[in-house]
Amino acid sequence: MALEIHSGMGYYHPSTQKFIEVMLQENSPYIGLVPDMGLFCKRFPRVVKECYLHKGANPALVEYMVQAYDNGDRIMFNTKIIPAELEKQFNLSAIDREFIINTGGFEYNDLSLLEQFMPYTRHIHGKFYEMLEDGEEYSIPYQEILDLFVKHGYNGFISSEYEGNRFIHDYAEVKSVEQVGFHQQMLTKYLGN
């Protein structure tokens, strides 16, 4: 039995903490964790930014929120209450409010959490939003993450989980098979065969 550790229900969420407490207490090979790499979104996903610009969100607001996220200021992390200063500064539309609230669904956790719980990692959800032409993922620092897996001898599975498609399907061609192929090539590059 392995609990998926996911953005919004990350390592520090009370429900996750309760599970981790039991897991550590039992110390069984049959109880563990499935970290989702969306927990390590270091840069705000560009496909999400483009999605909301396409939907008509205020470009100045979008840029403000993306810059804040990329600089480590998680304005909306785990909250649905929009700060009054944003309302005042940007005269928000409905789509602006939706964008602001959705920025809270992304997070970046310190990679030391992966190391701390590596002995309990049973499977990995290799979430990604956008594979670039250079073979890297735009938002998630996969090389750093995969180096940790190698360092600690992780020998389980990593499932490629493409989520960028849901942000582009209404205005661009979705190339899911190609994106998953690029993700698999990146995994091979950093992990070997």
Structure tokens at 182: 């690029």
- Residue 75: per-residue pLDDT: 75
Report the alpha-carbon distance of residue 29 to residue 97 in Å, rounded: 44
User: With helix as H, strand as E and coil as C, how does the chain read?
Assistant: CEEEEECCECCCCHHHHHHHHHHHHHCCCCCEEEEEHHHECCCCCHHHHHHHHHHCCCHHHHHHHHHHHHCCCCCCCCCCCCCHHHHHHHCCCHHHHHHHHHHCCCCECCCHHHHHHHHHECCEEEEECCECCCCCECCCCHHHHHHHHHHCCCCCCEEEEECCHHHHCCCCCCCHHHHHHHHHHHHHHHHCC
- The answer on 76 and 130 residing in a single domain is no
The answer to the question of residue 185 being in a domain is yes
Residue recorded with tokens 């594979």: 131
Which residue segment(s) compose the domain that 183 sits in? 119-136+165-193
- The answer on 123 and 55 residing in a single domain is no
The answer to the question of residue 61 being in a domain is yes
pLDDT tens, per residue, the chain with 193 residues: 999 999 888 898 999 999 999 999 999 999 999 999 999 999 999 999 999 999 999 999 999 999 999 999 877 776 788 989 898 999 999 999 999 999 988 999 999 999 999 999 999 999 999 999 999 999 999 999 999 999 999 999 999 999 999 998 888 888 999 999 999 999 999 998 6
Structure tokens at 127: 């979430």
CB-based burial label for 147 (10 Å; 0-12, 13-18, 19+): middle
- The answer on 181 and 131 residing in a single domain is yes
- Residue 128: per-residue pLDDT: 98
Residue recorded with tokens 């607001």: 61
- Residue 193: per-residue pLDDT: 66
The answer to the question of residue 90 being in a domain is yes
- The answer on 90 and 125 residing in a single domain is no
- Residue 8: per-residue pLDDT: 84
Report the alpha-carbon distance of residue 56 to residue 170 in Å, rounded: 13
- Residue 142: per-residue pLDDT: 98
- Least Cα distance to 143 among 134, 67, 33 occurs for 134
- Residue 78: per-residue pLDDT: 67
- The answer on 128 and 91 residing in a single domain is no
Say how many domains are in the chain. 2
